[in-house]
Amino acid sequence: MHITQLNRECLLHLFSFLDKNSRKNLAKTCHKLLEVFEDPLLWSLLNFHSPVELKKDNFLLGPALKYLSICWYSERVKVCNIEDWMKNSFQRDFCNRHENTVRDFLLQVCNRCPNLLSLTLSGCGHVTDDSILLLLQSCPKLRTLKLENCVRITDRTLQAVTLHGGALHTLHVDFCRNITQAGLQRVREQCPSVMLRAERSANMIPDSQPEKKLMLERASRKLVQL
């Protein structure tokens, strides 16, 4: 029996066991398998492990997407987590490319995936408050938002949660160094039903310009002396 003799439900089930590249390669073999590849039911879950994957054409974004995860931890991407004022010109160019890639991808999610239920972003140094605000506005069914080591996320994201995260049940902002205790407390007070976790975030050293950093160091020395 040839694989193309299977019915649509069986083919969708088989495709579900394949990664994105394998699905795309199999879809190139015949028109029937291409139709299966393009079936929205196949794309309710997407996982990405590098910025390069976001630019490939081996996946579909659409209303069927419910669960999205973008997590990467490679050595090169660690450059993106350095404070902007500490980067050299090469690092800035490298990070600008990643920033554009991430921003454009998340914009597509906002425009095409209104039924998103869960979003996980980990190690994404170029996710901004503006992107999260737009996602909360565009995906009103979002129930779970997990942000880990997203260094550009600030209290503006927490404010957006209080204003537009009406469906949220779970919010994680772990190791986001520019989150403050005041912002976390505001979420706890205004959204008491949200399960909030912020491991280390408000206890980390926030980004600051050199002159601001010097003032913080002086203040710290005075506290130690006292």
When pLDDT is cut at 50, 70 and 90, the band that residue 224 belongs to is: very low
- For residue 92, the model assigns a pLDDT of 66
- For residue 12, the model assigns a pLDDT of 95
When pLDDT is cut at 50, 70 and 90, the band that residue 96 belongs to is: low
Find out whether 163 and 188 touch, Cβ atoms under 8 Å.
Answer: no
For residue 145, pLDDT over 60 is answered with yes
Instruction: Tell me the two tokens of residue 84.
Output: 């902007």
Task: Compute the radius of gyration of the chain from its Cα atoms.
Answer: 21
The three-point CA angle 120-125-130 to 5° equals 75
Helix 181-190 / helix 155-164 crossing angle, nearest 10 deg: 10
Give the pLDDT mean for 131-139: 97
Fold of the domain spanning 1-42? Monooxygenase (1.20.1280)
Lowest mean pLDDT, pick from 37-51, 76-90, 95-109, 140-154: 76-90
Fold of the domain spanning 45-224? 3.80.10
Distance CA 14, CA 158 (A): 41
When pLDDT is cut at 50, 70 and 90, the band that residue 100 belongs to is: confident
> Which residues of the chain form CATH 1.20.1280?
1-42
For residue 75, pLDDT over 80 is answered with no
What is the DSSP code (8-state) at residue 3? Answer: G
How many CA atoms, within 13 angstroms, populate the side-chain half-sphere of residue 34? Answer: 4
- For residue 21, the model assigns a pLDDT of 95
Global confidence as pTM: 0.82
Lowest mean pLDDT, pick from 28-37, 80-89, 177-186: 80-89
Amino acid at 61: L
Which among 127, 71, 73 has a CA at the least distance from the CA of 99?
127
Distance CA 119, CA 147 (A): 8
> Which residues of the chain form CATH 3.80.10?
45-224
